[in-house]
Structure 1
C-alpha cells in the first residue's frame, strides 16, 4: 500500500504539471540556445512551482523535467526543460536522456513502461511520467517526475536490522522466565497497537501514544510515529486539493501559492457520471494488486480525456467518477465538451480492453450518464471537512441516468437538457421516456453513437 501511494502521488504530480504546460510553448524548445527564450523561462517557472508546492514530508520531488523525441532519431529521448537550479546537476535542451549511462531509445511511447522499472524503494525514489499532447491529440512530449519518500525509506532501512533480531528475541523468550516474557510482550503489544492504528488511519492516536519502550522497540515506534505524521499531512493535503484537478483551478492555486476561496454559487453546469459495470463482482476474483493496476490504467486514460475537454474531476467513486463541466470557470460549450468526452472515454476504454485481453486480463464496460442544468457549485462542507463539488437535482439526475445505462443496455444516456444544446453535433437515438429510481415523473432521454 505504501509503494502504491508513492506511485499515485508521483504520477499525480506529473499529470498536474503536464496539464499546466502550454503544448505550443513546449514545441518551441529544441536547441540549447532556446534556454534564453521567454518560452523556456515560462515553462521552467511552471515546473518549479509544481515541484515546490509538492515538496512535503510525505513526498519530496528530487527533479521535474520535460522530455521530447530527438530531432535526428525520434526513438531517442532528450531533455527539453529541466527545473533543477544547480548547474552541476541540470540538463539542457538537446541533452540525451540516459539510464545507467545509456541513451533511452524506446521513444516517448515506451517511457511509461520504462517508468515501472525506474523505482527503488530501498533508495527511496520513484520516477513517473505524464504525456503532453497538442490540440490534435498528438503526443509531443512528456513530463518526468522523480520523487523521494523519506518516511517510507526510513521504515524500509530499519526493517532488516530490527524485525529479524526482534523475532529471534521473542523465540528465545519462550524458554525464559514468565517475567522476561511479559517484559518483551508488553512493548511488542504496544507496537502492534501503533501499527493497527496506522492501518485504521487513526494517526492522532499514533502520534499521541506514550507507551514506555526502549531499545529497538523505541526506535521502531519512533519510525512508525514519523510515518503516521507524514501520512496525516498527506491526507490533509489530499483533502484540500482533491477537488482541484482541472487546469483552471490548478492555475489559480499555483498563481496564489494557496487554496483559492471558491464560495458556493448557483451556476449552470453539465455533470457526467461514469461507472464500471460489474466491477465489484469481477474484483472478487482478482488479486488486490491486479485490481489496483487495472484501476490505475483505467483512471489514467479517462482523466487524460476529461482534462482535454476542460472537465473538472469532482471525485472518484470507487470504480467510477463524477465530473463537472462549466465550473469553476464558465464554459459556453460545456454540453458539447461533456458529450465529446464521454464518447472518447468509451473509445479509450475499448482500446484498453483490446490491450488487456491480449495480455490475458479482464475487459471492462462502462456506463456514462450526462445532464445539464443549475446546481450549487463551490467549496461545500464544514470547517473540519470541505470539498469542491456540485449539489442539486441536476447532479442527482445525471447519476440516475448513468444507472439507467444498465437497464437500457447502452453505453451513454443523456438528458433532454443536454441533448437540446448539442442536437446537431452528434448522432442520436431516442430512448423515449424512462422511469428512474427516486423520481416521480418519467424523464425523456437519448443515447449517442460513439
Structure 2
C-alpha cells in the first residue's frame, strides 16, 4: 500500500502540499472545512472578480518556479502602456507621479545595502536616509504588511520587502489571468489528476494516525493541535473593492451579491449594479497608487485583466491599515478619502462595491530580533507538519504558504516512508 498522508486545509498551502506529496508517490486525502477550495485565494464570482486583498505573484522565488514548471500559472496579463503610466504616489494629500527624493535614494540603496534584524526599521532607516524617507518607505510597503506602523518591525524584514517591491531592476510582479482563483482551479485539477482524494465540507477535529499536514490559519491550527505557542504577529486593515463607470446615468438597479458570505470575511458586505450601456473608463483613474501619508494602497484589477469586470467597467481594490486605537469606521473614512483621489467621483460612478476587514490573517510580520526562522516551525513532531503564510518559511504572504507547503510535504513523505518501514519490520 502506498504511504498515506492527510492534508487539512484546501487553500493554496494545502493544495500545493497535497500535489507535492502525491508527486512523491503518497496516497493523499485533502480535507477542507468549506464547500469550496481556495482559502484566502478565493475570489468573488464573475462578473466582478475581486480577491481578499491584493493578489499578485513575484517571479523571483522558488514558489513561482514550482508553479511555472507545472504550467499552473496560466496566462499572464499586463496593463496597456497608457494604464501602466498611471502609477502614482500620495504625498501631502495629493497625487504625484514622483516619489520624494529620499525614497528614491532608498530605492537605489536597495541594490547593495543590508539592514539589521535586531533594530526596528524606522530607527535604522532614519539614521541612514532621514526620518521623512523612513516614514514614507514604511507607508509605501504597508501594502505588503497591512500594518499601520510598519516602522516598528524588524529592519531586515521590512527592508527585504521594500527591495522586492521597489529596487530598480526588471519588475518581477506577475498578474495571472482570472486572478489567484484561476490558479486555485488549476491546482485542484492537478491534485485530482494525481489521485488526491479531495473532501470539501469536511471539518477535522482529531488528527489521524499517520503523517498529517495542517495547512490552515494559525488560529485554527492552534485549536486543532492544542498548542498555544502557535501565534505570530500579523496585520489589520480595511478593504474596499470598487467597480465604476464614467457615466452615472448608465447605472441600473442595485442587486445584492453573495460574495461576502462565500468568502467568510468578518464585516464584509456587497452590493451590485447592472449597466445597460456601459461607458469606457475614466482617464483620470489611477492604475496603482502608494499612499505615503497613511499606508494605503490602490490598484486596478481590470486594467491588466479585463476579464475581472464587465465591459465598460473598471474594477479597483484599495486597502488601508488600521491604526492603534482607531475604529474600523475611522480607517474606512481614510480609505474612502484615498478612493476620492485615485478614482475621482467614484460615489456617482459606482456599479458594484464590497467592503471588508482583515485582522490577524494577513501574513507573518517579524518584530525586531526575529526572522522567519523564529516563526512556528513547519515540523511539529509525531508526523505533524504546518503550512501557511505565518510559519517558518521565507517569502512574503502567499509565497510563505507555497514554500512552507513544499517543506511540509517533503517532511511528511519522509515520515510516511519511515513509518511504512517500521510497520513492515
Give the TM-score, by structure 1 length: 0.21
Give the TM-score, by structure 2 length: 0.22
Report 1 or 2 for greater relative contact order, CA contacts < 8 Å, sequence distance ≥ 6: 2
More helix, by proportion: 1
